[in-house]
Amino acid sequence: MATLRRRGNSWQATIKRKGHPLQIKTFASKASAAAWARRVEMSMDNGSWIDTRGTRLTLIDGIIDNLIHSFERFGLEVAAPKMSSLNQLKKYFEGWSIHDLTVEDILDFAAHRRRTVGPSTLQKQMTYLQQAIRVSRVKVEEDVTGIAIKELVDRKIIMGSVHRDRRLKPGEYNRIKEAAGNHKWIMLAVDIAIESGMRQGEIHALRHTDIDLNKNLITLWRKDKKSIGGKKKAVIPLFKGVREVLLRGQDYFGKADTLFRVKNCGSISDKFAKLCKDAGIEDLTFHDLRHEAISRMFEVKKMTLEQVKVVSGHSSLDQLSRYVNLRAEDLVDF
């Protein structure tokens, strides 16, 4: 009989069966732990059980490593946001065999991630998991990932990105800053986003060598489907506000290669989501700060569409228009 024990916010299932190696696995819910234990014990009883723990390519974290290698072998760099999502998948499913994965396991993961990310971000992560399993070429009895994704789509828990016009409301910035407390690094990321309009992945990847304080320029590598490797070099102005943030954060940034010490790009949005929750702010994401920044370029800096396009990195004015969220109260004097 399997033993189920609570371990913090997780549940651990332990199976001790004569003639079989000890089986221990941790789950996000008691129901998932119990379902796994029943399945393993049943397969041990009927003789169909196979110990897959030592087979690296059947472990989900190994499968994800294989997906990353499938890009790197051709010199293609995995974008920081995608790499962050893949690392989160690896951490959550570490040590899990693809043959033990169930629909309930994936739904548990989706529920766990949905607490801090939006529907479109979660959909991307689900797609990455499905892609990793497909690239691995491991044959499974049932496409549990596909089934879980369909269920999540049907319930509208995940969906494609939708146009947002959310911007900072009066007082929200100060409430976020107060919630951050001594976690100054996240406010540095917030301020860079508001002052520059840079994407989360671009901010996380910033290096000292990318910033030319003499010429007031920042060099970035931005996603571009038409370029070899999927990226192209871009140079944007180092605005006065960004320069001030960089100078203010010198003690934190130090002399390390990259400015931000957090390993995963997703740590920025996760921390921001927690700050908003602590501050009682609803429906505000880190990406919304990009909307705020671009709108301010029109409202405050009085920049033209073409000028903003250079800074934002949009390939067309039509794409840029989605980020222009001018408020009616700002236009009353026209």
| pTM of the shown model | 0.62
Residue 166 covered by a domain:
no
Query: In the predicted model, is pLDDT for residue 56 greater than 50?
Result: no
75: three-class secondary structure by DSSP: coil
- Please indicate, yes or no, whether residues 149 and 286 belong to a single structural domain of this protein: no
Task: State residue 53's pLDDT score.
Answer: 54
Number of domains in the chain: 2
| Of 120, 154, 188, the domain-final residue | 154
Residue 259 lies in a domain: yes
Structure-token match 């705020």, residue found: 292
Q: Which residue is listed with tokens 């396009």?
A: 309
Q: Is residue 177 located within the same domain as residue 323? A: yes
> Does any domain span residue 160?
no
pLDDT tier, 257 (very low <50, low <70, confident <90, very high otherwise): confident
In a domain, 164, yes or no: no
Residues 117 and 149 in one domain: yes
Range of the domain at 318: 172-330
Residue 167 lies in a domain: no
Task: Note whether 182 and 299 are same-domain residues.
Answer: yes
Asked if the structure places residue 162 within a domain, the reply is: no
User: Last residue of some domain: 128, 154, 180?
Assistant: 154
Q: How confident is the model at residue 58 (pLDDT cuts 50, 70, 90)?
A: confident
Residue 180 shares a structural domain with residue 314? yes
Beta bridge partners of 178: none
User: Is 270 domain-assigned?
Assistant: yes
**Per-residue pLDDT at 55 exceeds 60:** no
Distance CA 240, CA 11 (A): 50
Number of Cα atoms under 13 Å in the Cβ half of residue 58: 13
Q: Assess whether 78 and 220 both reside in one domain.
A: no
State whether 194 and 308 are in the same domain. yes
195 shares a domain with 144? no
pLDDT (tens digit, 9 = 90+) per residue, 197-249?
A: 999 999 999 999 999 999 999 999 888 777 777 788 999 999 999 999 999 99
Residues 236 and 140 in one domain: no
Whether residue 215 is contained in a domain is answered as yes
Cα 9 → chain centroid: 21
| pLDDT top residue among 318 and 66 | 66
Regarding whether 315 and 182 lie in a shared domain, the answer is: yes
Last residue of one domain, picked from the residues 154, 180, 207 = 154
CATH of the domain at 278: 1.10.443.10
Q: Mark whether 100 and 29 lie in a shared domain.
A: yes
Distance CA 132, CA 63 (A): 6
* Residues 147, 245 within the same domain: no
**Distance, CA of 2 to CA of 258 (rounded, Å):** 47
